[in-house]
Structures are given as C-alpha cells and as structure tokens.
C-alpha cells in the first residue's frame, strides 16, 4: 500500500511540474500568436525589434509566475521543491532555445538571455505567492 501511495505521489509531482510548464508555455505562445495576428510582431521567423521583445519579456515574467503558482498548488507536498524543478526545467529549455536561435538573427540577443535569467526567480516568486496565499486565514 505504501508503494502505491509513493507511485501516486511521484506521478502527482511530475504532473504538477508538467502542468505548470504547459500553463506558462501555452499562455506565452498563445499571446505571441495573438500579437502576430494583430501585427504587433512581425511575421514568424522575421527579426523582432527590442520594443516588442520587451513586451514579450513582461508577459513571460507574469506567465512564468502563474505557471509556478499552479505547480505549487498542484504539488502533493513541498511546493517550493516542485517550483524549483519547474524553474530548472524552464532554464534548461530557455538555454536550448537560445542556442538553437542564436545565429538566426530573429532579434537582439538580450531577449534570449533575459528569458534564461527570469526562469528561476519567477518560479520562486510564484511558489512564494502560493505559500503566502495558503497561509492567509480563510474568511
């Protein structure tokens, strides 16, 4: 019975991190797509100037925090451990994205670096916001 509970807890942990990753990713790519349709961004595959990328950085910060909050909320235990895992995965994926696009001239390099840098602090903040809200008295 204890082994079954352990397997279920492990699956819940993986699911919590995966769902948080998907929430942040879907919100980011969805917003990107809307802004491409609205012509705020140039067509996919063309160089994007710094102004629109600053906007993209801002909403990616928000969406990363939201994704981490979701991860913390769904974590079966130790929510900060789960958001740390999410942040590490996010940073690794961001590094992979930067490496893959570095020589494609899609925009200034500061953006790729910023996305890497925000991964851990934003996931940490999302987890802390969850813990703070959880500790508030229920009215």
Listed range (8-22, 64-78, 124-138) with the worst mean pLDDT: 124-138
Listed range (6-15, 65-74, 94-103, 129-138) with the worst mean pLDDT: 129-138
CB atoms within 10 A of CB 70: 22
Q: What does the pLDDT read at residue 128?
A: 96
Q: Rounded to whole angstroms, how far apart are CA atoms 32 and 82?
A: 27
**To 5 degrees, how large is the angle CA 20–CA 23–CA 115?**
85
Q: Where are the domains of the chain?
A: 13-135
Residues 6+ apart with CB under 8 A from 97: 112, 115
Report residue 5's pLDDT band, with 50, 70 and 90 as the boundaries. Answer: confident
Round the average pLDDT of the chain to a whole number and report it: 95
State the average pLDDT over residues 90-113.
Answer: 96
Q: Rounded to whole angstroms, how far apart are CA atoms 42 and 49?
A: 9
Phi–psi pair at 137, nearest 5 degrees: -65, 145
Task: Look at 2 and 87; give whichever has higher pLDDT.
Answer: 87
Q: Name the strand (E) or helix (H) holding 36.
A: helix 2-37
């Amino acid at each position: 019975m204890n082994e079954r509970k352990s397997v279920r807890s492990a699956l819940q942990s993986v699911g919590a991190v995966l769902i948080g990753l998907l929430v942040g990713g879907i919100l980011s790519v969805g917003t990107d797509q809307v802004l491409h349709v609205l012509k705020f961004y140039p067509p996919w595959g063309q160089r994007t100037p710094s102004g629109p990328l600053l906007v993209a950085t801002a909403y990616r910060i928000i969406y990363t925090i939201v994704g981490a909050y979701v991860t913390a909320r769904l974590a079966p235990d130790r929510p900060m451990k789960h958001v740390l895992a999410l942040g590490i995965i996010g940073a690794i994926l961001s590094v992979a994205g930067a490496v893959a696009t570095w020589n494609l001239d899609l925009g200034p390099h500061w953006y790729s670096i910023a996305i890497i840098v925000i991964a851990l602090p934003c996931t940490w903040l999302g987890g802390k916001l969850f813990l703070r809200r959880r500790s508030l008295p229920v009215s």
